[in-house]
Structure 1
Amino acid sequence: MSNNEKCTCVECGNTDERMDKLKDILEEYRSIKGNLIPILHSVQKIYGYLPEDILQVVSEKINIPMTEIYGVASFYHLFSLEPKGEHIIKVCLGTACYVKGGQIILNRLEQELNLEVGKTSLDGKFTLEATRCLGACGLSPVMTVDDKIYAKVTLDDVRRILDEYTKVEVDK
């Protein structure tokens, strides 16, 4: 667990404001039919992903089996069962970006970060994702880091872009 990550463990008794928010959400959605997806969205907004112990609480409180919760959480791409990094890097692999080198950019990021697509770095700094379209085909290849868009990315740009996010931490 990283220094800024709080325990989500229900059994240890270390509750925080997130658990209070979760209880409020479960109460709000308790009697609403089809409540699972909105609850999962709320849990992910609170925790940044869907922690197993929190999903167990959801299961018990709204009386939906864990298998059903996992089925929904793993079916929809928006949900994550693993913690995300501080910075989310997305590389477009849509047709225009792929043709102009999107896969090569993604390969370089994997190499630079020593990280597979869909995984988070051990230090919790980066999560690397491939996406089908970022809606900027005329600027291909395109990648984003969090909400910042990088257009016409070259192999030489990759290290410079990563340094923007690692250098900031050193300067703090």
Structure 2
Amino acid sequence: MTSISDDEFEHLLTAFDTSSIHLETRDAYGTEIELPHMAQWAAGEHDDLEWLQGWCSTVREHVAAGRTVRRARILSEPLSDYQRWSHSIAHPMVAAGEDIRWVPRRRTSSVLIPGNDFYLFDDRLVVFLHYSGNGLGVDKVASTAPGDIERCRRAFDEVWQLAIPHGEYKPV
């Protein structure tokens, strides 16, 4: 496994050939980009979500080219404030073509899940996302090991079978 830079990761998000899958397993994150927007939401202030438009444009390009972008979010219920906020801002990404699904953690008790969130690109490269206790990203580690790819693929597929599409999930 090898650490990759933010620039290398950003390239992977745009350069895959057929599919990108992303499994999120934490109840809260603290990404530097998101924190100010979540604070606005917590204060009841309007957010035009303009900051999401770059990602939405990327998703639309992938979908137009026949590539799939899927994300499964495992979460505890009742939802954390982060997950309530995350659900409230997902609609532009879903409208752009990202298939986002929500999975109550209680549904995943018998699913073996890798110890870190991950992206799997084209079933050939997995990137594990490492976070500190407060949710800030601290590292991204890439692997092409067949065992890592198979375990991540299997975990995502099992979680996906239990997942609720964004439009049908009602936050608890």
Task: Compute the TM-score of the two structures, normalised by the length of structure 2.
Answer: 0.27
Q: 1 or 2, which has the higher helix percentage?
A: 1
| Structure with max Cα Rg | 1
Q: 1 or 2, which has the higher strand percentage?
A: 2
Task: Compute the TM-score of the two structures, normalised by the length of structure 1.
Answer: 0.27
| Greater relative contact order structure (CA < 8 Å, 6+ sep) | 2
